[in-house]
Amino acid sequence: MTPTPASSVLPADHPLATPSELPYGLPDFSAVTDAQLAEAVRAGMAAQRAEVEQILGAATAPTFENTVRAFELSGQLLRRSAAMFFTLVSADGTDARQGLAEELSPELAAHEDALLLDPRLAERVAAIDGAGLTGEDARLLEVLRRRLDLAGAGLGEAERAELGRINTELAGLTAAYTRRLVADTAERAVLVTDRERLAGLSEDDLASAAAAAREAGHGGADGEGRDEAGPWLLTLSLFTSQPWLASLEDESLRREVFEASVGRGAAGEHETLSTAMEVVRLRLRKARLLGSASWAEHALKDRAAPSTTAVEELLATMAPRAMANARTDAATASAHAGRVGGAVAPWDWPALSAAYARERFAVDAGALRPHFELDRVLHAGVFAAATALYGITFEERPELAGRLYRPGIRVFEVRDEDGAGVGLFVADLFARSTKSGGAWMHTVRDAADALDERPVVFNTMNVPAPAPGRPALLTLDEATTLFHEFGHALHGLLAKGEYVSLSGTHVPRDVVEFPSQVNEVWLREPALLAEYARHVETGEPLPAGTLDRLEAADLWGEGYRTVEYLGATLVDWAWHSLTEDTVEAATADPAAFERRVLTEAGIDPELVPPRYGTGYFKHIFGNDYAAGYYSYIWAEVLDADAVEWFREHGGMTRQNGRRFAEELLSRGETRDLLESYRAFRGRDAELEPLLRRRGLVEAAA
């Protein structure tokens, strides 16, 4: 195959007519308009079709080199331009970009189908004798064959045509769901004009809320406003339970914030439920075409979990035990607050839980924030742990940050112990109204020797931006998320291999969270904590005994947190386990179906609502976690077991990091991840460490 030069399908002066000349191929976001990006994506599709046509039209017999490797290396213009475009859609998704995404997503789905469902490709790949292949070449052939099978390449012509129509429609619907959710989340933010209602919030919280109000156009007559005069805007995170709820003393305001959160997508201009239900029905139709009874059954064909029964057994083991713990914790917190009858509303739980923890364990999460200044946590915590374990170092490159899409985004060059370049790490950490909720990692370049390419990895979060001149302070949860997302970044940065399709985080969905969850453990490494958790004004470390108190308090509220997660997992699994006999009744009343699923699993949604509701569950209706939200707990089985190995072998040492990197982080999909885990651990993972961590060993079943 002869690659199609971008300059042959784009104007010579187009900013993407040639690959970026910036270090590591960092895309120059500052040099391209939305219209030019859309033009490049469409040109990239045309270029890849021409490249693949060369492969499929060749008169020579199919070989690994002229078919599998050639197909893997095709489409580089599309890959570069699509990575840029969807970075912007997620992190700075203006109305115009969201609209373009709704246009382009169906086109991209149709393009992928045109390639994968072409019977000539399946025939050529099937004809290749893989007996002489070894290593990554053998693995790439195996992965491509599985990909073609799951895509439906073996279907008849009529079925392939129907599948293509479904995929195109699904792409448009998931883009529409995301656009509406982003808009509704911004619209439902709670505006407060009476400062007394904000009692309990810190001065930094108030300043952030005032800044958010100004950015949203709620300032004074001159558009400026003053922090002390308000108004204040309580923006919403992606979760059901909002961070504000732990601090606000006004119960009516807590309820208002909570109801704004759970009401997202239910009605109005940005309603998402009808879109979600159409997605559910279409996914089932697709699964049936591909020979499965449900989408969950189809999805597990490309996962580490061996069967739907295995997933359901894990959830059934945990849900009733966790709910029992949640009820006990709710009763304890209610009694501590002097409430008659023990009733705890979901908007009250965060405040009651925090109050109990302050008294019982002498742990005040709010009081810890001045010790978690973002820049220090990043450098003396996250980066320092990576240096200790993996020998890599970080140098900020402010001149490259100027090539990105918003001020305040930071770029770091990563080098190994010998000083050789590893890649770039990009940190886009502050919330903005055009950014999707939550936190995530993605790559715009990958470790791939076949392309002579090094990784460019993004971590994106939604930390409230501080007021001008003030430091950014993290909650303990936000600090944990920073370590978590950087665990994903390490999976991309430390990858080694020949092909993009086998590199870094290109692993089964239900194990991709494993390395990131392991990285969370270093947040509390005593020597590291002593360096990064210092008071932002005095430089003093955490008060003596804080770590011991945090660890003593670990299981407090764990039942509630586990049920929040399991509730969302059960909702996802239930929607995608529907069959032809059950789908119409379920989708006719999504709220009733969601309640029934939770109560039948032993969960009380009036006490512990799921982490996400159907109307704002972007993971499964806007991203690719459908029938996959169980992945976090499935991966945590590996994580909890691996953390025990680290503890048994001395913790955060270079020797331990070298082993973890060599056997797991660097491997990606170059071999089966569970095989990599066995090479690292010496055996399969065991469930017991997870149950102990979650406080479920002694809980009543």
User: Which two structure tokens, joined as six digits, stand for 107?
Assistant: 């086109």
Closest CA to 664 of 390, 311, 378, 382: 390
271 dihedral zone (left: phi>0; alpha: psi -120 to 50; beta) = beta
Structure token pair of residue 547: 């770590």
* Encoded amino acid at 191, one letter: L
Burial class (CB within 10 angstroms; exposed 0-12, middle 13-18, buried 19+) of 61: exposed
In 175-296, where do the E strands start and end?
Answer: 190-192, 232-234
Single out the catalytic residue among 39, 297, 453, 485. 485
Q: Is the dihedral of CA 442, 445, 449, 454 positive or negative?
A: negative
Q: Are 197 and 250 in contact (CB under 8 A)?
A: yes
Q: Is 537 a catalytic residue?
A: no
Token pair of 128, please?
């290749």
Going by the DSSP 8-state scheme, the letter that residue 7 receives in this structure is: G
Cα 462 to the center of its chain, rounded Å? 12
Contacts of 159 (CB under 8 A, 6+ apart): 152, 289
Name every residue whose Cβ is closer than 8 Å to that of residue 43 and which is 6 or more positions away in sequence: 6, 9, 10, 77, 81
How far is the C-alpha of 417 from the C-alpha of 79, rounded, in Å? 31
Cβ pair 550, 296 in contact under 8 A? no
At position 111, the amino acid (one-letter code) is H
Q: Please, what is the angle between helix 34-56 and helix 76-91, to 10°?
A: 150
Residue 392 neighbours by CB under 8 Å, 6+ apart: 386, 414, 415, 416, 417, 422, 493, 494
The answer to whether 219 and 213 have CB atoms below 8 angstroms apart is yes
Residue 426 β-bridge partners: 411, 458
How many Cα atoms occupy the beta-carbon half-sphere of 397 within 13 Å?
20
Tokens of 81: 């331009």
3-class DSSP state of 293: coil
DSSP single-letter state for residue 245: G
Q: Hey, what amino acid is at 408?
A: G
Give the residue numbers annotated as catalytic, written as ranges.
485
